[in-house]
Amino acid sequence: MRVLVSDAIAEEGLAVLRQAAEVDYHPNLPRETLLQIIGAYDALMVRSQTRVDAPVIEAGVRLKVIGRAGVGVDNIDVETATRRGIVVVNSPEGNTIAAAELTMAHLLALARHIPQADRSLRAGEWQRTRFVGVELSRKTLGIIGLGKIGREVARRARAFGMRVLAYDPYVAESQMRQVGAEPVTLETLLRESDFISLHAPLTPETRNLLNRDTLALTKPGVRIVNCARGELIDADALAEFIESGHVAGAALDVFPVEPPPADLKLLHQPQNVLTPHLGASTVEAQVKVAIDVAEQIVAVLQGKAPRSPVNLPPIPAELMARVEPYLQLAERMGILHSQLADAPVERVHAIFAGEWGDLPLDLIARAALAGLFRGTTDTPVNLVNAPLIAQQRGVHLEWSVRPETELYPDTLTLIAYTSRSSHKLTGTVFGRSDLRITHLDDLFVDIRPEGIWLMTEHQDRPGIIGRVGTVLGNYQVNIAGMHVGRESVGGRAIMILQVDNPIPPEAFRQIQQMEGVGNARIVTF
């Protein structure tokens, strides 16, 4: 077995590889050379510098595993690797402590003006009264995103005597309380925090999470720390709030563009504490990720399961052809559940009814988790790592089998429980690929889980469906299909409209305010 290491890796990781394989260590390998030689290797180990795109993967005809010594896999074409049956592994835990400790260093430096005082002293000044700071003790720290790093920050902040608030719509409240954090809404966190630390993944929902509108909700004199993703903050808006004095200062390790442009206002504001993306830059973290990924590469080459795969190991083709439509159905049911839930999902129960034979029901149940978490993290979510994410978020998965079905053969029922309520979906597959949701909370609907839905809950009475259709027509929204279910004549009813184009916010507001409509939501797949 041959392993190519094309980026700088700690010697301890190389030693692990050399115990099991022939290792060629070529940091800073030119891309042209990589394309020429990759076909001779069974494994490739990289950090962030080497771009492992489709041409590299296609040229790696012997590749069985690609290891990323770090967390992010943005430089690896995971989709192409999965299609080629190549396992991709990373080290999601390796830099947790390093990033958490850097966050605390930023908090302290920001509170006590340490970089500014250092510069002043080196300039020959002695101005003690100029750098009067604030204490962390008895202050409120708001943590946005309570994943692995956020939790470690919460523990350390509690040790400093801080009150810790946490906002994370995908983590159960019980998990937050375990680390001494109070679960709150984003608005409450913004209004009550003396310090705000960002640890959320970068998703469409979190991009520019701190902007002019949300910063306006913060307490005057708030201090902001970001050691997560630069794009979580609107940099221009933050600079304006610092210039006005509303925000006392920011401590930033990450920026929307790296390295940041020289004219970025945040670089020229003396209140700020700035570092060049040092979150994982400790000796210990580099050794941890190198050893972790090296051990996983060896495991895959020896036919064993890796600890932290980010994609699905190959499934036999004959089995995949049969299970794939049910994997898609379960994933889309999970996506629907994520948009129906009124609070973080705490438990998922999958019920398989009918004759499922030798299909891997555990993988189908995992696919539901993958759908439930899709779009809530900036790392790929799949059948392999979905259970780990569920464990981290306090989501319990269970599944059961029963032989009988009611209307259709081989139905999947997925029940998602939150602390406030539960929703129940039932679906099936017709033919080879016709996916259907057949029941929603025991109401018959029979609809394909695709595209854009407008869902309304209302009392079954004349006129509501027509008024909703009129509003959509006024805004040039074309209705592709309609499905209505009801408990009884005049009773609780549900309507699902499949539309061809996005619903404008004003149209949606009119529907929400319509008499007789108890609840309305837009669902996207």
Nearest Cα neighbor of 8 from 247, 281, 265, 191 is 281
Tracing tokens 């050399």 back to the chain, one arrives at 18
Nearest Cα neighbor of 479 from 457, 460, 458, 451 is 451
Active site residue 12: no
Q: Which residue in the list 277, 307, 347, 467 is annotated as catalytic? A: 277
Cβ atoms within 10 Å, residue 293:
30
Segment (H or E) for 33:
helix 31-37
Q: Which residue in the list 11, 32, 258, 406 is annotated as catalytic? A: 258
Burial 385-416 (b: 16+ CB within 10 A, else e): bbbebbebbbbebebeeeeebeebeebbbbbb
CA-to-CA distance for 333 and 339, rounded, in angstroms? 10
Q: Which residue in the list 47, 156, 223, 229 is annotated as catalytic? A: 229
C-alpha separations of 410 from 352, 358, 359 in Å: 7, 13, 11
Q: What are the beta bridge partners of residue 348? A: 397, 416
Sort strands 195-198 and 222-226 into parallel, antiparallel or unpaired: parallel
Burial 48-65 (b: 16+ CB within 10 A, else e): bebebeeebbbebeebbb
Burial 238-270 (b: 16+ CB within 10 A, else e): bbebbeeeebbbbbbbbbbeeebeeebebeebe
Q: Edge-to-edge strand order for the sheet containing 479-486?
A: 479-486, 492-499, 452-459, 517-524
CA terminus-to-terminus distance, the chain: 42
Q: What are the beta bridge partners of residue 226? A: 198, 252
CA-to-CA distance for 499 and 447, rounded, in angstroms? 13
CA-to-CA distance for 390 and 373, rounded, in angstroms? 8
Active site residue 229: yes
**Which residues are catalytic, by number?**
229, 258, 277
